[in-house]
Chain A
Amino acid sequence: MGKIDRVGRIRTLHGDMGVWHKYTFGLAGERFFRALAEKGVLLASRCEACRKTYLPPKVYCPACFAELTVWAELPPRGYVETYTFLYEDLEENRLTEPVAVAFITFPGVDGGLVHRLGEVRPEEVCSGLEVEAVLAAERSGGLQDILYFRPSRE
């Protein structure tokens, strides 16, 4: 059938996958983000069989499928386990100011949260840095209710 050997004959069709999505939070997510919105606290759920405390909490244990009914509030203080500085946004545009993002763990908890770091100079950020969540004044229920984590004050 011959190949296309002239650039002028190349034809491209532009298009997209024209769907968008509205997600529920799930049973565990609903309870976690309601508590965050209404009381400003972080919850974790406990699996006795596997001796694991999950953050974010789950209603089932991924390892043994036990139903997790023991939920507890976490102390507000966490620690930076690892971090990075982003120089690009989602559309690959260069950012004028790098955005600090970290994985934050909490004592006695399996897991943690990925979130932005704020009110901190880049050179201050290190593994083990103690941080606390800065919550939005008006909370609507969702990850955006946490504005960022900052070095803890006391």
Chain B
Amino acid sequence: MKPENARGVPLKDEDLKTGKVLTTEWRVKADYAWDCGIAIGRYLDGLKEGKIMATRCRRCRRTVVPPRVFCEWCFKPMDEWVEVRDTGRVNTFSVSFYSWDMTPLEKPEVPAIVEIDGCSPGVGFMHLLGEVGDNLEEILRRVKVGMKVRAVWKPADQRTGAITDILYFKPEEE
């Protein structure tokens, strides 16, 4: 039966910790100062002012967020900036019990894709939902795909021009 006598020496986590096997560590300093450019620059400026800025292509009749200077469908420059509303509908969501580096969370986070009102159908961005409960059962009871939500902003003086200027999206009565 193929494959035969495959190689590979498995180790246990302790082997690395107890020094049964030699190891060496390296903390790379990989620092960057990314140029935001035209589209994302204006987008982050807008967030600082409590606005969600989108761009619109007239030929494709598309208003999209996050904004870009080109329409990737027809490859022409976008025609105009459009301020869209800070409300929308949940396209999909999940309930995360782990942080970005797999440390368990006491209170679960609720990531979601929010379709933003004022953009083309199905167009939105990823953010977190809030005020929807802090255990799985309650969250699954209160959060539904298609549900209307509204952005909750940081106070103006604490906003820096970042996606985190929006704290989360909370449910909105119909």
A-chain residues with CB within 8 Å of residue B16 when the two chains form the complex? 22, 24
Interface centre among A9, A13, A34 (most CB of B within 10 A): A13
Q: Report which of A2, A11, A14 forms a contact with B161, defined as CB distance below 8 A.
A: A11
User: Are A11's CB and B30's CB within 8 A?
Assistant: no
User: Are B36's CB and A13's CB within 8 A?
Assistant: yes
B73 within 8 A of A: no
Q: Report which of B11, B22, B36 forms a contact with A11, defined as CB distance below 8 A.
A: B36
User: Are A14's CB and B32's CB within 8 A?
Assistant: yes
A-chain residues with CB within 8 Å of residue B77 when the two chains form the complex? 1
User: Are B34's CB and A3's CB within 8 A?
Assistant: no
User: Are B25's CB and A15's CB within 8 A?
Assistant: no
User: Are B34's CB and A12's CB within 8 A?
Assistant: yes
Range, interface on chain B: 20 to 34
Range, interface on chain A: 20 to 34
- CB contacts under 8 Å to A, within B129-159, are none
User: Are B38's CB and A2's CB within 8 A?
Assistant: yes
B35 within 8 A of A: yes
Interface residues of A (CB under 8 A from B): 1-4, 9-17, 19-25, 27, 29-30, 33-34, 141-142
Mind listing 19 A-B residue pairs with CB under 8 Å?
Answer: A1-B39, A4-B41, A11-B41, A13-B33, A13-B34, A13-B36, A14-B32, A16-B29, A16-B32, A19-B28, A20-B25, A21-B25, A22-B25, A24-B23, A25-B22, A27-B9, A33-B22, A34-B22, A141-B22
Known: A1-B55, A16-B31. 5 other contacts (CB 8 A): A12-B35, A20-B27, A22-B16, A25-B21, A29-B22
